[in-house]
């Protein structure tokens, strides 16, 4: 898509959903604008029902964003599930910290604490953000193409959570070696930053769409 892209359209995809891997370099995408950051692969032939069904597999009881009065509730459901998944990852970091403390391997504790704090900030954003964020979607008219786009984008976000499990597993395996642990935690930090950036870009999906 060229520079004449119309308002409200999503830029051409550049990477598949779950594009963030443990090998992603720190600062990846740091120079992109919010609209450029909306780069989840979207299947423009996928029906809104199929897109909703895919997302609902990750969020029990998820009703969707079709009804404007339910969008904030649905957004809160999404955030709660993300927060729960990331809290489990943070718990594994805490356990790793405890293990190193008990074995006298103290060199990596500061690194683990730093990664844990970064992850905790992301968790807090997911779990305790006010409803003002969700109101962004209240102010635009969402037809079936827009709903399908949003469901697919959110599905991509949910799929990326698996990369956190891989990243913390790598840190656990690297723990006895401080240099390997530093590298593994650096990759986890990059993943945390990229996930936060991708979620922030979500609110720009419908820039330029008319309000009801």
Q: What is the pLDDT of residues 13-32, one digit of tens each?
A: 333 333 333 333 334 444 44
DSSP assignment of 93-110: HHHHHHHHHHHT--TTHH
> What is the C-alpha to C-alpha distance for residues 170 and 132, in angstroms, rounded to an integer?
37
If one counts the domains in the chain, the total is: 1
Residue 147, domain member (yes or no): yes
Q: For the chain, which ranges sit under pLDDT 70?
A: 1-45, 104-105, 129-139, 209-212
The two structure tokens encoding residue 66: 């079709």
Q: Looking at the whole model, is its pTM more than 0.85?
A: no
Query: What per-residue confidence (pLDDT) applies to 127?
Result: 82
d(CA 28, CA 20): 9
Predicted pLDDT of residue 141: 78
Strands (E), the chain: none
CA distance 84 to 133: 19
* Predicted pLDDT at 4: 36
* Residue 174 forms part of a structural domain: yes
Task: State residue 11 phi and psi, 5-degree precision.
Answer: -60, 155
Instruction: Classify residue 35 as exposed, middle or buried by CB count within 10 Å of its CB (0-12, 13-18, 19+).
Output: middle
Report how far apart, in Å, the C-alpha atoms of 4 and of each of 1, 9, 37 are: 8, 11, 18
- Residue 210: inside a domain: no
Answer whether 197's CB lies under 8 Å from 33's CB: no
Residue 39 lies in a domain: no
pLDDT at 206: 80
Whether residue 159 is contained in a domain is answered as yes
Q: How far is it, in rounded angstroms, from Cα 179 to Cα 171?
A: 11
Q: Which of 123, 46, 32 is nearest to 81 (CA)?
A: 123
- Give the domain range for residue 97: 51-58+65-203
Predicted local confidence at residue 46, as pLDDT: 81
Task: Please report whether residue 111 resides in a domain.
Answer: yes
Q: What integer pLDDT is reported at residue 95 of this predicted model?
A: 94
Distances from the Cα of 22 to the Cαs of 166, 188, 209, in angstroms? Answer: 7, 7, 35
**pLDDT score for 107:** 75
Residue 73 CA: distances (Å) to CA of 61, 96, 125, 133, 204: 11, 35, 16, 12, 19
Is residue 117 assigned to a domain?
Answer: yes
Give the separation between CA 119 and CA 110, rounded to whole angstroms. Answer: 14
The predicted pLDDT at position 42 comes to 61
Classify residue 33: in a domain, yes or no: no
């Amino acid at each position: 898509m060229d520079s004449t892209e119309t308002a409200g359209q999503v830029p051409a995809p550049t990477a598949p959903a779950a594009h963030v891997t443990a090998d992603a370099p720190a600062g990846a995408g740091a120079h992109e604008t919010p609209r450029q950051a909306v780069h989840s692969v979207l299947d423009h032939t996928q029906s809104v029902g199929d897109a909703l069904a895919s997302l609902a597999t990750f969020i029990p009881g998820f009703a969707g964003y079709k009804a404007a009065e339910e969008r904030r509730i649905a957004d809160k459901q999404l955030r709660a599930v993300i927060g729960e998944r990331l809290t489990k990852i943070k718990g594994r970091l805490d356990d790793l910290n405890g293990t190193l403390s008990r074995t006298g391997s103290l060199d990596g504790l500061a690194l683990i604490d730093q990664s844990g704090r970064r992850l905790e900030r992301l968790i807090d954003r997911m779990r305790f953000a006010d409803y003002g964020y969700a109101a962004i979607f209240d102010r635009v008219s969402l037809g079936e193409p827009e709903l399908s786009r949003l469901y697919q984008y959110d599905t991509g976000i949910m799929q990326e959570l698996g990369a956190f499990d891989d990243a913390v597993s790598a840190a656990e395996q690297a723990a006895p070696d401080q240099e390997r642990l530093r590298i593994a935690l650096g990759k986890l930090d990059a993943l945390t930053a990229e996930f936060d950036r991708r979620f922030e870009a979500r609110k720009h999906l419908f820039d330029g769409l008319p309000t009801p």
